[in-house]
Structure 1
Amino acid sequence: MKKFWKIGLSAFLAIGLVAGCNAKEETNEKSPSSEQQKQQETSKVDEAAFPMTITDATGKDITLEAPPEKIVSLIPSNTEILFGLGLNDEIIGVTDNDDYPAEATEKEKVGGMEYNIEQIIALTPDIVFAHASSMTFSEGAIEQLEAAGVKVFVVANAKDFNDTYTSIEQLGRATGKLEEAQKIVANMKAKVEEVQTKLEGVKPKKVFVETSDEPEIYTAGKGTFMNEMLNMIHAENVAADADNWYKIDAEQIIAKNPDVIVVTYNYVPDILTKIPQRAGFETITAVKNKDIVQVDENTTSRQGPRLADGLEELAKAIYPEAFQ
């Protein structure tokens, strides 16, 4: 069998239920009967009960008779979620790119830039968690796994924090860890609220996000997760006049004149001292004020439990004065 490509990041399905009443106000509405309450509680249990049928990002229904005891993850974001759910013992295979938590590096590797199909099949997993962001490269691999009788669940690619919450709850439901998933989501929401509260009243700054070094400088445009995060912390993405991730010329960056330059990569030594040396960059406000900062690429991009920490890191980098 052939090996197939993989790479990507992570979400799809959401739950939200709010109910309330004010006992001090007279209304014609009645409180739910004990029978209604019992039905509501039962439905909450049933949605996490086995056997269950779940629908993945491709629209495929997968039936699970019991919580999986052997799991393979094909992307770091899924892996971080699964470890966050407390599934250390159940995870039997991850990719070469999985580096968090430390326990992930000790798991059997099933490939890096391509999947080792034979190895995955030999591990006899109860389920494999793939990702929609890598379907261009992994569709053939998934077909081979399914042809061999391996269940593959494709997690949707998250577009925002709500999608990320949904992915976490979805994986929690599929693994019998829904309660743990809901706790992770609650903690993330609390962190996001804490960050946004600290930024109330800040003067928005113009930000340029650089994801690769020259000669091919790439940035995050409209429709990217990074753009969503900048919006959440009242920062103006100067590259939002174009869609998705795209290559940008140095002259365009100079013309946009950002207040802050955020670097998301670490493969270039001393990049924070090299950027100001680029021709013409001495005129940029961020360079003049020495507001060139570097953030962790993984925490600010992987749609998993650490993403709220990544939002805080990004906010601190752009608005350090709000966190003193």
Structure 2
Amino acid sequence: MGIFYLRSRGRWILIGVVLAVAIVTGNSVVWACGEGDCAEMKRRQQGILTGMPFMAHVSSRSFVDDAGRKMYLAKTPTRIVSLAPSVTEILFAIGAGDQLVGVTDFCDYPPEASTKPKLGYAHPNLESMMALQPDLVLAPQEFLKPDVILKLEQLKVPVFILSAATVENILGHIQTLGRMLDRSVQANAIAMSLRQDIAAVRVRTQTVSPVRVLYVLNSQPLITVGPGSFIDQLLRIAGGANVAAQSQLPYPRLSLEVVLQQDPEVLLFPVGKAEGIPDSEQQTWRQWQSMTAVRQGRLHQIPADLLNRPGPRIGQALTMLVNILHPELVAGPSPLP
């Protein structure tokens, strides 16, 4: 939820449908039947015709996940396992938190998520998961191991794969999960609000000069975000110019030489709630006084759970990025001391 998780700074879904076919001419239905059967068929004709909404229902309960796999849900899932913090946030946001029976070790927002049974992450405890009797598992494509998905399918547990590479993917996930869980009103409202937030940010930043920025997922080795990641798109919407824009990967490694050549004006360090950038790591960066970001003291810590999760809080993430990248537009947080 993509979603990309990295050990950084030492932390860490065949339905067979049998149809009766009739030839419809005008407002009548012509049935192919024997004489003795026609009366019964005519009697049932109205029921068959009014059953057409059932086919619409089949369509509305059919879904295609981000791995291209089709899933049909005969009823609304009530026992859901979420294997991505971003998905957990979406479910709570659309009012489906009570349907969650299991989450990952990293699911900590909203606070209620912390009360749900924890199942691990990349290698979830399948025995514990099956004990929860889930009728739907929502999983990230990039991080969950293929063998785990295969085992779940062998256990007849529906698995729906989600992968967010763009902001539009995120909004689509919110609306898809809303439809899947009969929460479309709430989901559509959230998606609309986020679209408005994004449009407002675009208006605010369209006349400013883009600020060169490096998003430091990890320092040693240096890993950042590139084209094909939703974080790269957020940076650009907020008026940033990603120094890894020429990369062919969504989460590339960069050499220090490339970084120094690109000369970022802002360095962003996603960190955990109770954590910060170790002094040793800060010193590693601060020694490069030729770098504009270092020379001007524009090294910023940002909450990893807000920026790294493709969920319903991307509006808040954008606001924070604008504050940091363009303090001339709004007052922003202070740089690192």
TM-score (norm 1): 0.79
In structure 2, the partner of 1:32 is: none
Q: Give 2:199's aligned residue.
A: 193
Matched residue type, 1:239: A
Deviates more, 1:83-92 or 1:234-243: 234-243
How much is the aligned-residue C-alpha RMSD, in angstroms?
A: 2.8
Deviates more, 1:230-239 or 1:87-96: 230-239
For the Cα contact (< 8 Å) 1:7–1:75, is it kept in 2? no
| Cross-structure match for 2:123 | 114
Offset at residue 50 of structure 1 (A): 8.9
| SS at structure 1 position matched to 2:139 | strand
How far off is 1:260 after superposition? 1.4
1:290 to 284, 291, 297: 297
Does the C-alpha gap of structure 1 residues 74 and 97 become closer, same or farther in structure 2, counting only changes over 3 Å? Answer: same
User: Residues 61-76 of structure 1 correspond to what in structure 2 (within 5 A)?
Assistant: 61-76=70-85
Name the TM-score, length of structure 2 as normaliser. Answer: 0.76
Contact 1:192 1:312 in 2 (8 A): no
Take 2:302 and 2:280, find their aligned partners in 1: how far apart are those partners? 12
**Total equivalences in the alignment:** 281
Q: Deviations over 1:98-122 (max 9, x none)?
A: 1111111100111234111111111
Taking only the aligned residue pairs, the percentage that are identical comes to 29
Secondary structure of 1:134's counterpart equals coil
Pick closer, same or farther for the CA change 1:65–1:291 going to 2, 3 Å. same
Q: Is the 8 A contact 1:80 1:101 kept in 2?
A: yes
SS at 1:293's partner residue? strand
1:149 paired with 2:156, answer yes
Equivalent-residue separation in structure 2 for 1:275 and 1:317 (angstroms): 22
Q: Find the aligned partners of 2:235 and 2:2 in 1 and give their Cα distance.
A: 24
Greater relative contact order, per chain length (Cα 8 Å cut-off, separation 6+): 1
Tell me: CA distance 1:48–1:193, structure 2 relative to 1, closer, same or farther (3 Å).
farther
1:1-324 to structure 2, matched below 5 A, reads 8=3, 52-135=61-144, 137=145, 139-155=146-162, 157-213=163-219, 215-244=220-249, 245-266=251-272, 268-270=277-279, 273-278=282-287, 281-324=288-331
Measure, in 2, the Cα distance between the counterparts of 1:194 and 1:103.
31
Please tell me the residue identity of whatever aligns with 2:165.
K
Q: C-alpha offsets along residues 96-145 of structure 1, whole Å, 9 cap, x if unaligned?
A: 1111111111001112341111111111112111122225x1x2222222
CA displacement at 1:163 relative to structure 2: 1.1
Aligned pair in 2 of structure 1 residues 163, 132: CA closer, same or farther (>3 Å)? same
Displacement of 1:180 in angstroms is: 0.9
Judging changes above 3 Å, is the alpha-carbon distance between structure 1 residues 231 and 255 closer, same or farther for their aligned structure 2 residues?
Answer: same
- Does the CA contact (< 8 Å) of 2:166 and 2:228 recur in 1? no
